[in-house]
Amino acid sequence: MRDAEAVTFARGALDRAAHLRPDPALPSHPRALSLALWQGRPLVEPGPPPRLVWLPMSAPVFAAATHPPVFLGVADGAPRFAREIPDWEGADTTPRTFHDESRDTHPALPPGLAFGDLRAMMAELSVADSGTAAAAKGILGWHATHPFCARCGAPSAVADHGWRRRCPACGADHFPRTDPVVIMLILHGNSVLLGRSAAWPPGMYSLLAGFMEPGESIEAAVRREVWEEAGIHVGQVDYLSSQPWPFPSSLMLGCRGEALDHEIHRDPAELEDARWVTRENVLAAFAGQDPDLKPARRGSIARFLLERWLADALD
């Protein structure tokens, strides 16, 4: 697909500069800056569009941080980091909605700056900022869930400014995790196969998707997932595009598949509903003219692939 890398999160502006990761002096660089995140929510200034906020390494908001900054790369000749900050007195820690438009302000930050949910604002960020935010959220999320050695169970330590964890007890090295997920534009004539999870907002439908398994090709995973979830056999499978998806640590592998049959046999443990939707009905849903069908959110690879299908721009 010609514009495959136009999908949200697929491109960032930072030079990842992996050769600099072992350098212990990076955080003390005189022009080093860091992005603050709280509960995975990056710090932004209001837009439109919203923009990521880079702070000095010594900014007061980092005073209570207990984890070291993670090196993201280099911009304008200076290192850029990401750092998670802990809750503060008065912070709203109640569970958020599926689509969270709220902003959280910190008492140590200037007025107007706030932490925002990346999933809610991903389509508004610039190409550069969305890629950087995805990298920051993904790597910090990995550290939060992998503090112990998977080999011996001892606490592991951060190395290479966040791109490795080393176990001091057994010497094992652990590296950031990315889980491959296939997401499928399954077509049958003029219709596309859409499904919904019971946890989604009412009326929201998207493309079918699922995690790949060990020893499985992309094509085989597409066919297996569609059969397991909807009881549809799939023939030809073509790769289209990919999207880093830091919720928490996936790589979405977008594919097109040709359905060999039409009758749906839905697995209720996987999907609350599945249906064939015509091109005309998808277009109406995108225009807000179908009250019973809400399409995948802007910025997602599902929305990206559906838009390209409607525009006959998959090839």
- How does residue 40 score in pLDDT terms, banded at 50, 70 and 90? very high
Q: Look up residue 305 and give its two tokens.
A: 């692939």
77: Cβ–Cβ under 8 A, 6 or more apart, which residues? Answer: 31
Percentage of residues in the chain with pLDDT exceeding 70? Answer: 100
φ, ψ for residue 280 (rounded to 5)?
-65, -40
Residue type at 82? Answer: A
Instruction: For residues 110 and 130, give the distance between their C-alpha atoms in angstroms, rounded to a whole number.
Output: 23
Rounded to an integer, the average pLDDT of 30-51 is: 95
The whole-number average pLDDT for the span 34-53 is 95
pLDDT at residue 188, rounded to an integer: 98
Strands 157-159 and 173-174: unpaired
Residue 169: CB atoms within 10 A of its CB come to: 13
**What pLDDT is recorded for position 21?**
98
Residue 202: how many CB atoms within 10 A of its CB? 7
The residue-averaged pLDDT of 183-187 equals 98
Domains 4-145 and 179-310 share a fold: yes
* CATH classification (class only), 179-310: alpha beta
Q: 3-state DSSP call for residue 139?
A: helix
Q: Can you tell me the distance from the alpha carbon of 31 to that of 27, in angstroms, rounded to the nearest whole number?
A: 9
Residue 302: both structure tokens together: 């599902």
Rounded Cα gap, residues 94 and 87, in angstroms = 12
Question: Looking at residue 98, what is its pLDDT?
Answer: 80
The C-alpha atoms of residue 80 and residue 84 are separated, in whole angstroms, by: 14
Least confident among 11-15, 52-56, 184-188: 11-15
Q: What mean pLDDT value characterizes the chain?
A: 96
Domain ranges of the chain: 4-145, 147-176, 179-310
Domain 4-145 top-level CATH class: alpha beta
Nearest alpha carbon to residue 16 among 79, 59, 58: 79
Percent of the chain whose predicted confidence (pLDDT) is above 90: 93
Q: Are strands 208-211 and 179-188 parallel, antiparallel or unpaired?
A: antiparallel
Q: Are strands 70-75 and 78-84 parallel, antiparallel or unpaired?
A: antiparallel
Q: What is the pLDDT of residue 46?
A: 87
Query: What distance in Å separates the CA atoms of residue 257 and residue 234, rounded to the nearest whole number?
Result: 6
Q: For residue 182, which of 149, 227, 116 has the smallest C-alpha distance? A: 227
As a whole number, mean pLDDT of residues 31-44 equals 98
Q: What is the pLDDT of residues 53-108, one digit of tens each?
A: 999 999 999 999 999 999 999 999 999 999 999 999 999 999 988 878 899 999 99
The secondary structure of 103-147 as a DSSP string is EE--TTS-TT-EEE-HHHHTTTS-HHHHHHHHHHHHHHHHHHH--
Compute the distance between CA of residue 227 and CA of residue 208 in angstroms, rounded to an integer. 11
Q: Rounded to whole angstroms, how far apart are CA atoms 167 and 104? A: 35
Rounded average pLDDT over 224-242 = 98
For 124-147, the pLDDT digits (tens) are 999 999 999 999 999 999 999 999
Question: Looking at the predicted structure, is the pLDDT value of residue 12 above 90?
Answer: no
Phi, psi of 256 (to 5 degrees): -110, 135
User: Rounded mean pLDDT of 192-196?
Assistant: 98
CB 91 within 8 A of CB 103: no
What is residue 258's three-state secondary structure?
strand
272 pLDDT higher than 90: yes
Q: What is the DSSP letter of 28?
A: G
Residue pair 71/79 in contact (Cβ under 8 Å)? The answer is yes
| Residue 72 near residue 131 (C-beta atoms within 8 A) | no
My answer on whether omega of the bond before 155 falls inside 30° of 0, hence cis, is no
**Secondary structure letter of residue 62 according to DSSP:** G
Residue 2, pLDDT score: 86
Structure confidence at residue 269 as a pLDDT band (50, 70, 90): very high
